Structure 1
Amino acid sequence: MQRTSRLNREMQLLNTEPPPGVTCWQHENKMDDLRAQVVGGSGSPYEGGIFNLEIVIPERYPFEPPKIRFLTPIYHPNIDTAGRICLDILKLPPKGAWRPALNISTVLTSIQLLMNEPNPDDPLMADISSEFKYNRAMFTSNARKWTEQHAMPRTQGTKADLKENVIPTESTSQKRKSEELPREPTKSFKGP
């Protein structure tokens, strides 16, 4: 009963006063199965991306942390290919920092912060962590590509979408050049 009333309060708060760039809702009207979307922060390689997350609320919540994973692929040192997140508040003490005073809103805000400020010293993806530490430009480029490929809203269209949807015709620059070229007067054919 305590879990249900707490979750109801949290969901109401998430609906009326969500953290910036975060939305959360019940999946298939189940109180213990939630979905969330987190918008990539400006200035980060995830900017403009919308990342979907799955949130499973355990029976012992709030005494146990929610189980959260990314459904949208993301190139990040602290998030693996299965979407699992390495974040201390998602684990119980002594290894983690979860406390019953924390809530879903706080956790989603922390995940958004982690996206913008990776922790390469506690990675799930060692190769991406190494890239983040020693070749930041390569990391940023790869993370941006993944964001464009997996997290950009389809209505905006990514560069790849635009390329695939273009019908091969005379390019715009070729058209302009042909329009600017002086035309030779047409010679009328005079018969014999």
Structure 2
Amino acid sequence: MDHSPSSSRDRVAAEILPTPRFDVISEDPSDHQFTNSSSSTAKKIPLSAPKVSRELQKHIAHEWKLLAENLPETIFARAYETRIDLLRAAIIGAAGTPYHDGLFFFDVVFPPGYPACPPKVHYRSYGYQINPNLYHTGKVCLSLLNTWFGRNSSERWDPKTSTMLQILLSLQALVLNEWPYFNEPAFIGSRRDPFHKKAYAYNGEVFLLSCQTMTHVMSRPPKGFESFVKDHFRDRGHVILAACEAYFSGRVPVGRFGLSEAGTTTSFPGMRRGPSEKLRSGLVHVYPFLVKWLGYCGAEVGPRRVLKARVENEDNMDQAKDKVRKDGKIKVVLGRVLGKFKRIIGLKK
């Protein structure tokens, strides 16, 4: 092992340098959706590199250049040396949305006809539908992908101007947004007060699903992003737990944690009655799993108050209920045994 001063400096520098937003890695893409699963045409794409035409190589190289130069601080992408037609992207949920601090992964393949047709994009859902446009099956509905009709033809894929960068930016801004409830076709463009109560309730459901998604991402990080996942949740873990506490107590509407004081419940008509029991019970359920996996990532999970006490109380109540059930069963069994014994000795006919 090299213990020279230069190698020590290199290790320190590696720890200080930020994670590159775009990188081409030698990682085996075996867990990528488009190498281990059937595509929409039920034709399996092999793990070994398919024949990529020079024309397609040129277009992919252009996409790599755009991503390397223009990705924002909250989107990261990885391409593969052995499969240049594949890409994987991670989007960090933005502040001011119910997705805040979550990590959302998308697997991409550039088909042979690209850019005449858009890339295929699969959301790594872990079985949860966190948005009307992101199905639990992984389907992504987006006009730019031609999987959604959009409001007009200008929003659909244009071979001359559309890019992978635009797709990722659209997923972050238009899909993982502040009010995902209004992504439902019937409510697109609507921000009317009568819908606010349902919109806030939907944000609560989305946050719970986002938290559950976090536990899966931490326990099974996608290949090529293992260190990134661990570092992200190590740095943001205390914020995620504090947000759970704030939403549980009703101090802050879901999605508003960390914003200005203008984001208190009194400013939001749909949340004046406080959090729903569904949200509170959901947080009680997911909280211990978040603490477990955030602690594994090295996050500060120190003592919490309200939600932790509720979780412990729920555990005590469950234990008490179990004890009552067990005691009841024991009494029934003993009663039956005693009845038989009395009949045998003639004390009971």
Query: Aligned partner of 2:176: which letter?
Result: M
Compared with structure 1, are the counterparts of its residues 32 and 162 closer, same or farther at alpha carbon in structure 2 (3 Å cutoff)? closer
Indicate whether 1:105 and 2:182 are aligned: no
Question: Residues of 1 paired with 2:93 and 2:121: CA distance?
Answer: 17
Find out whether 1:87 has 2:142 as its counterpart: yes
1:115 aligned residue: 176
Shift of 1:134: 6.1
| Cα gap change, 1:28 to 1:4, in 2 (>3 Å) | closer
Q: Does 1:12 align with 2:65?
A: yes
TM-score by length of 2: 0.41
Q: 1:62 and 2:118 equivalent?
A: no
Larger helix percent:
2
Could you tell me which residue of structure 1 aligns to residue 97 of structure 2?
44
Contact (CA 8 Å) 2:211, 2:290: kept in 1 or not? no
CA deviation after TM superposition for structure 1 residue 121, in Å: 1.1
Where does the alignment leave 5 or more consecutive residues of structure 2 unmatched? 1-53, 188-194, 219-232, 242-286, 296-302, 306-349
Structure 2: which amino acid aligns with 1:55?
V
1:78 is aligned to 133
**How far did residue 29 of structure 1 move?**
3.0
Q: 1:150 aligns with which of 213, 231, 240?
A: 213
Q: Quote the RMSD (CA, aligned, Å).
A: 3.2
Deviates more, 1:52-61 or 1:83-92: 83-92
CA drift at 1:60 = 0.6
Distance in 1 between residues matched to 2:122 and 2:147, nearest whole Å: 16
- Secondary structure of 1:62's counterpart equals coil
| Distance in structure 2 (CA, Å) of the matches to 1:23 and 1:102 | 19
Q: CA deviation at 1:148?
A: 1.4
Secondary structure at the counterpart of residue 31 of structure 1: coil
| Alignment size in residue pairs | 161
Match in the other structure for 2:335? none
Q: For each residue in 1:42-69, what CA deviation from the matched residue of structure 2 results, as whole angstroms up to 9, or x when unmatched?
A: 1100000111101011111111011112
1:126-182 CA-partner distances (Å, limit 9, x unpaired):
xxxxxx87612221111111111213674445633355589xxxx999xxxxxxxxx
For residues 52 and 92 of structure 1, do their structure 2 counterparts lie closer, same or farther at Cα, with a shift above 3 Å needed?
A: closer
Give the corresponding residue for 1:182.
Answer: none
CA contact 1:70–1:84 (8 Å) conserved in 2:
yes
1:179-190 alignment, distance < 5 Å: none
- Whole-Å separation in 1 of the counterparts to 2:291 and 2:149: 51
1:93-112 deviation line (CA, Å, top 9, x unaligned): 98861111100000110111
5+ residue gaps in structure 1?
A: 124-131, 174-192
Relative distance call for 1:102 and 1:161 in structure 2 (3 A) is: same
- Whether the 8 Å contact between 1:19 and 1:105 is mirrored in structure 2 is no
Q: TM-score, normalised by structure 1?
A: 0.70
Aligned pair in 2 of structure 1 residues 18, 32: CA closer, same or farther (>3 Å)? same
Query: Matches of 1:41 and 1:94 in 2, distance apart?
Result: 26
Q: Which is strand-richer, 1 or 2?
A: 1
Percent identical pairs in the alignment equals 25
